[in-house]
Structure 1
Amino acid sequence: MPDLAYYASLPRARGAAAALLLDDLGRVLLVKPTYSEGWYLPGGVIEADESPLSACVRECEEELGLVPRLDGLACVDWGSPRDDGVDAVNVFVFGGTITGAEIAAIRLPPEELSDHVLVAPEKIPELAPPHVSRRMDPSLRAMADGRAVYLEDGRAPRFGIPLRT
């Protein structure tokens, strides 16, 4: 029988899941929250007892009014605690595609999102906050290569070298 008190005492990790959706021209779908500056990928917090994939699908359905066609995991990015008080987080980015008809059918929840846009990948740093834009190039490369990438604060760690302590 597991020691439930022991498991309850362990640290809990925060998680988020997002969809990196590309149209047929390779543009990225971004959304503009009403509660924060900048543009983000559709997605959000992973709820208790929810898988990252389920969270991504749920958030897209809530935010866009559609269930995206996802091709797989593009990136896991561990974000260290930020100076503004935000705790460390594991962000799961799932890659996929979005059609013109799906873009036309997007229905944003007005209390949460004010707009959506398709942008060329090189424009993302101009629009998205640094903690979001930093993972875009590695995630897009991973999608093109058909493999997932692991990042820490948006950068690939050097394996075989001791990580910071």
Structure 2
Amino acid sequence: MISRVELLHAAQALCDDFASKKDIDTLLSHFSTTHQCTLVEHGEPFLAPFLGRPFNGISGALMYFDLINKHLSYENMRFSEYVVDVEARKVSVKGKAKFTWIETDESWDETFAYMLDSDDELKITDYQVWADSGAAYLASKGELGRSKG
């Protein structure tokens, strides 16, 4: 049986690598190859190309992270308040960062949440994100600054 500490450390490793802006291959190494992994960032799909649809398998994960890297940059990312459910093999965590929509150079501070499900090998099978899709949309249109005004 997987221990709470093992599950926590696996989730922290992914979060630390993402916060440290590790390369995509490093991020992908955290995802299951024995189960089809699914990545979903919740929100309306018309708000941003990485929202509201599942990205399946390692190829889907690669596509998701490529879209994130194409459209967003971030700084000062940090994670806290990890909640571990050993029986369900889930970890939920709160994150904070300053995001910038690359094309418009508009930035916002955001608090977001991850829910990470793991397989028996402590690899991610389901990666869910809840974030401020409205700020991302306004920033993508160059309207975030005016909206804050």
Normalized per residue, which structure has more strand? 2
TM-score (norm 2): 0.29
The structure, 1 or 2, with the larger RCO (C-alpha pairs under 8 Å, 6+ apart) is 1
